[in-house]
Amino acid sequence: MQRSEISKQEAKILFRDNTYKIMSKKEKNIDQLEKKIKTELDNFTRELETVKNLIELDKIRTKYIGKKSFLIKTLKNIGDLPDDIKPIAGKKSNTARNKIESDILKKEKIFKNIEYKNKLRKESIDLSLPGRSTGTGRKNIISQVVEEIEEIFIGMGFEIAEGPEVETDYYNFEALNTPRDHPARSLHDTFFISENILLRTHTSPVQIRYMESHKPPLLIIVPGKVYRRDYDVSHTPMFTQIEGLVIDKGINFGNLKWTLETFAHEIFGKDRKVRFRPHYFPFTEPSAEVDVSCNICGGKGCRVCSGSGWLEILGAGMVDPNLYSFVGYNPEEVSGFAFGMGIERICMLRYGIDDLRLFFENDLRFINQF
Ligand code: PHE
C-alpha cells in the first residue's frame, strides 16, 4: 500500500464537506481513507441485510451512494487530493461504490420479483365469478313506435318524406290556409325566430313542400319533431308527429276512413272501435278528429277518457281545395286527404303513461320498461 503525507492545506480541502473525518489533521494518509471505506462497506452490508422492501432499499442507496454520501463526495472531490493519493483513493472508492451498487441491484431484483408475484396473486382472475353485465342500449320508445307506424303505412303503399324543423311562416301557416289574422294561429303557441321564421308547430308544412315538388298521385307519411310553447302533463315544447297525405284522382272521405280505421286497428288492436268526430282545421274540409274506444273502461267512461268512453288519437280531413292553388294543382282534377297525429300521445294511450314529460326526462327506470 502506498502511503502519503498531505499538507495542512490539503487536509483542509479534504475536510471541506465534513465527509473526510478520517483525514483529520493527525491522520493524513490513505490508510484512514481505506478504513473509512471499509467501515462504510461493513455498515452497508449489515444494513442491507435488514432491508425489507424497495422503499427501504432506496433509502440505503441514497445513504451510501447518493449525492451526499461519503463515497460519492470522495469521488467528486478526488481532484483536490494530492497526486500520489488520487489514483488509490479513486480506485478504492470506485470499487466500493460498484460493489454497493451491484449489491443493491441484486437486492432490488429480488424485491421486484416478490412484488411482481404478489401483484399477480392479487390480480389473478377468479374464473368461477359470474360476469358483470353491462346494460344493453336500445331504441327509445318514441322511435320504436314511429318505426312501427311507418311499417303500417308502408304496408299500405305510403312513402316516407321529411321537411325542415325551422320553417317559414308561409309553409307553416300561410299556404295551409292560415293567414296572419286567422284565429287558429293563436292555438299553436309558436316559437318565432324572426317575423317570418319559426320552429314548425306541426308536420303539415311538409304537405305543401311535397306537393310543390311532386305531381299526384302521392301517398306520403312525414315523421318529425314539432315545437310549441307549452309545458304541462300533456304538453312539452318539443314533441313528435306523423303527418299523412294522399292525393290522387277521385280520393274521397271513404278512403280516409278506411285508411285510418285500418291504422287504428293495427296499432291499438282489432277490438277497438273507431269514430270520426267533426272538427275544424284550416287546411282540411271537412275535418274530423279520430277517436278510439277507451281500453281502460271498454267504452263505459272512466278517468282516463274523462268519462266519454273515447280517446282522441289524431286529426284528419279532406285537403281543402284552397291549398291546391298554392302548389299549382287543379282542384277539378285531384282530391286528397291528410291526417296528423302526436306520437307521444299514441304511446301514452297504448302504454297507459299519464305524464308526457316522462318521455324526455331520461329516467332509466322509465326508459327500461320498453
Ligand atoms: N297539423 C294538425 C295539428 O297539428 C293535424 C292535422 C294534420 C289535421 C293533417 C288535419 C290534417 O294539429
Ligand 1, residue 245: give the atom nearest the CA: 9
* Alpha helices by DSSP H, the chain: 8-15, 30-50, 54-65, 70-76, 86-123, 141-155, 169-172, 205-213, 253-268, 322-327, 343-351, 364-367
* CA of 284 relative to ligand 1 center, distance in Å: 9
Ligand 1, residue 207: give the atom nearest the CA: 9
pLDDT (0 to 100) of residue 57: 92
Q: Is pLDDT above 60 for 5?
A: no
How many other C-beta atoms can be found within 10 angstroms of the C-beta atom of residue 164?
13
Question: Which of the pair, 22 or 118, is modelled with greater confidence?
Answer: 118
Average pLDDT of 48-74?
Answer: 91
How many other C-beta atoms can be found within 10 angstroms of the C-beta atom of residue 90?
15
> Which of 23-37, 212-226, 271-285, 303-317 bottoms out in mean pLDDT, i.e. has the lowest?
23-37
* CA of 212 relative to ligand 1 center, distance in Å: 19
Phi/psi of residue 85, nearest 5 degrees: -90, -35
Average pLDDT of 132-151?
Answer: 91
Going by their DSSP bridges, the two strands 218-227 and 159-160 should be labelled as parallel
- Interior/surface letters 259-296, b for 16+ CB within 10 angstroms, e for the rest: bbbebbbbbbeeebebebeeeebbbbeebbbbbbbbbe
Grid cell listed for 198: 319559426
Considering the chain, tell me which residue range(s) the CATH 3.30.930.10 domain(s) occupy. Answer: 141-367
Contacts of 279 (CB under 8 A, 6+ apart): 287, 288, 289, 315, 317
Average pLDDT of 10-37?
Answer: 60
> Which of 13-27, 253-267, 354-368 bottoms out in mean pLDDT, i.e. has the lowest?
13-27
pLDDT (0 to 100) of residue 6: 56
Give the pLDDT band of residue 10 (cuts 50, 70, 90).
low
Q: Which amino acid is at 127?
A: L
* CA of 315 relative to ligand 1 center, distance in Å: 5
**Cα-trace Rg, the chain:** 45
Give the pLDDT band of residue 26 (cuts 50, 70, 90).
very low
* CA of 67 relative to ligand 1 center, distance in Å: 86
Please check whether residue 209 is in contact with residue 167, taking contact to mean a CB–CB distance below 8 angstroms.
no
Describe the chain by its helix, strand, coil percentages, rounded to 5. Answer: 45, 20, 35
Give the pLDDT band of residue 163 (cuts 50, 70, 90).
very high
* CA of 156 relative to ligand 1 center, distance in Å: 20
Q: Is pLDDT above 70 for 18?
A: no
pLDDT (0 to 100) of residue 165: 98
Please check whether residue 45 is in contact with residue 99, taking contact to mean a CB–CB distance below 8 angstroms.
no
Average pLDDT of 98-120?
Answer: 92
pLDDT (0 to 100) of residue 3: 45
Decide: 316 in ligand 1 pocket, CB within 6 A.
Answer: yes
> Which of 14-18, 52-56, 164-168 bottoms out in mean pLDDT, i.e. has the lowest?
14-18
46: phi > 0 → left, psi -120 to 50 → alpha, else beta; which? alpha
pLDDT (0 to 100) of residue 134: 86
Ligand 1, residue 314: give the atom nearest the CA: 5
Question: Which of the pair, 220 or 135, is modelled with greater confidence?
Answer: 220
Q: Which of 281, 289, 319 for mutating ligand 1's site (highest number of atoms within 8 Å of CB)?
A: 281
Q: Specify the residue with its C-alpha closest to ligand 1, atom 2.
A: 340
Q: Is pLDDT above 80 for 48?
A: yes
**H/E run at residue 287:** strand 284-293
Cα gap 242→148, rounded to integer Å: 12
Decide: 315 in ligand 1 pocket, CB within 6 A.
Answer: yes
pLDDT (0 to 100) of residue 2: 44
pLDDT tens-digit readout, 299-349: 898 887 889 999 999 999 999 999 999 999 999 999 999 999 999 999 998
Q: Which of 199, 276, 283 for mutating ligand 1's site (highest number of atoms within 8 Å of CB)?
A: 283
Ligand 1, residue 316: give the atom nearest the CA: 10
Decide: 338 in ligand 1 pocket, CB within 6 A.
Answer: yes
**H/E run at residue 338:** strand 335-342
* CA of 186 relative to ligand 1 center, distance in Å: 15
pLDDT (0 to 100) of residue 24: 46
Q: Specify the residue with its C-alpha closest to ligand 1, atom 5.
A: 340
Please check whether residue 204 is in contact with residue 283, taking contact to mean a CB–CB distance below 8 angstroms.
yes
* CA of 193 relative to ligand 1 center, distance in Å: 22
Cα gap 67→76, rounded to integer Å: 9
Decide: 202 in ligand 1 pocket, CB within 6 A.
Answer: yes
Across 26-35, 132-141, 220-229, the highest mean pLDDT is recorded for 220-229
pLDDT (0 to 100) of residue 296: 82
Q: Is pLDDT above 80 for 16?
A: no
Average pLDDT of 103-119?
Answer: 92
Residues of the chain with pLDDT > 90: what percent?
A: 63
pLDDT (0 to 100) of residue 27: 44
Q: Specify the residue with its C-alpha closest to ligand 1, atom 7.
A: 340
Q: Specify the residue with its C-alpha closest to ligand 1, atom 10.
A: 316
- Count Cα atoms within 13 angstroms, Cβ side, for 271: 5
pLDDT (0 to 100) of residue 28: 56
Question: Average pLDDT, whole number, for the chain?
Answer: 89
pLDDT tens-digit readout, 169-215: 999 999 999 999 998 888 778 999 999 999 999 999 999 999 999 99
Domain 141-367 CATH class label: alpha beta
Query: How many helices (H) and strands (E) would you count in the chain?
Result: 12, 9
- Please classify residue 133 by burial: count the beta carbons closer than 10 Å to its beta carbon, then call 0-12 exposed, 13-18 middle and 19+ buried: exposed
For the whole model, what pTM was predicted?
Answer: 0.66
Nearest to 344 by CA among 143, 205, 139, 150: 143
* CA of 316 relative to ligand 1 center, distance in Å: 6
Decide: 284 in ligand 1 pocket, CB within 6 A.
Answer: yes
Q: DSSP letter for 152, please.
A: H
Q: Please, what sign has the CA dihedral across residues 320, 325, 331, 335?
A: negative
The alpha carbon torsion through 326, 328, 334, 337 (nearest 10 deg) reads -30
Residue linked to cell 272512466: 302
pLDDT tens-digit readout, 245-259: 999 999 999 999 999
Decide: 341 in ligand 1 pocket, CB within 6 A.
Answer: no
